[in-house]
Amino acid sequence: MADRYDTEETGMSSAAVLGPTLTFLTSLAGTGRALEFAIGTGRVGVPLRERGVPVVGIELSEHMVAVLRRKMDEDMLPVALGDMATTIVPGEFTLVYLVYNTITNLLTQDEQVECFRNAARHLAPGGRYVVELGVPPLRLLPPGQVAVPFDVSERHLGFDTFDLVEQILVSHHLTRDGEDGRYRRGSSRHRYAWPAELDLMARIAGLELERRVADWDGAPFTQDSPKHISVWRKPI
């Protein structure tokens, strides 16, 4: 997956998506340092560093970090290998951020709360924690239906299945690989959470909601927004 990540995610790596993301994060970092939880291949962290923000990463997968290292070395962008819910890196940060739905990779409420606590632990007073996350797509799941398709195209079939009791969503992908027409099957497991649950997690971690918007351009968050970007602040 690490080798395919940057090529498959051209949409998320496009200037149209990354430009507003970087502007948003740069202004919150100010003159301080930024910590990216689950930095992956550095899709966001590398260009943020290039904009002059000192960035440190935490990442579970050494394969993802190996891809990041093709773009930037350790002196410019240090990365600690470990779990973002528990790994501690030295120093204080004005910004901790966790983007692209990645909090859902923590599969229990306890782990997600620990992740909020770990963000708060790294923040300087007045610092911000930013999370980018989809609103659970449950309005698309009528009673009695078990799956919701999210992409039906020539190259890719994607659908989500839900465990409403455990708040688990599994994304299933069938992707056509080569010219022979064969499909590669993959799936990923996520714990979804509503914005209000995240606000309680923030409160448990001693953080206060400062802002919630629908996208990196700052559009208002409404009841129809498919995702949110939330900013919590550590009190001074």
Ligand X SMILES: C[S@@+](CC[C@H](N)C(=O)[O-])C[C@H]1O[C@@H](n2cnc3c(N)ncnc32)[C@H](O)[C@@H]1O
Question: Which residues in this chain contact ligand X in the complex, by CB under 6 A?
Answer: 38-40, 43-44, 58-61, 64, 83-85, 99-100, 102, 105-106
Minimal distance, residue 64 CB to ligand X, in Å: 4
Radius of gyration over every alpha carbon of the chain, rounded to an integer in angstroms: 18
Minimal distance, residue 144 CB to ligand X, in Å: 31
* Residue closer to ligand X, measured from CB, 25 or 58: 58
The token pair at 96 is: 């901790």
Q: Is the dihedral of CA 146, 167, 217, 31 positive or negative?
A: negative
* Residue closer to ligand X, measured from CB, 16 or 236: 16
- Give one word for 42, left, alpha or beta, with left for phi > 0 and alpha for psi -120 to 50: left
Minimal distance, residue 126 CB to ligand X, in Å: 24
Exposed (0-12), middle (13-18) or buried (19+): which is 27, by Cβ within 10 Å?
exposed
Report how far residue 127's alpha carbon sits from residue 119's, in angstroms, rounded to the nearest whole number: 10
The token pair at 58 is: 């935490």
Which residue from 15, 62, 34, 13 is spatially nearest to 127, judged by alpha carbons? 34
* Residue closer to ligand X, measured from CB, 87 or 142: 87
8-state DSSP, 105: G
Q: Is the dihedral of CA 3, 8, 12, 13 positive or negative?
A: positive
The count of other CB atoms within 10 Å of the CB of residue 120 is 18
Minimal distance, residue 100 CB to ligand X, in Å: 4
* Residue closer to ligand X, measured from CB, 151 or 208: 151
* Residue closer to ligand X, measured from CB, 9 or 199: 9
Minimal distance, residue 47 CB to ligand X, in Å: 11
* Residue closer to ligand X, measured from CB, 105 or 167: 105
Minimal distance, residue 180 CB to ligand X, in Å: 28
User: Nearest residue by C-beta to ligand X?
Assistant: 40
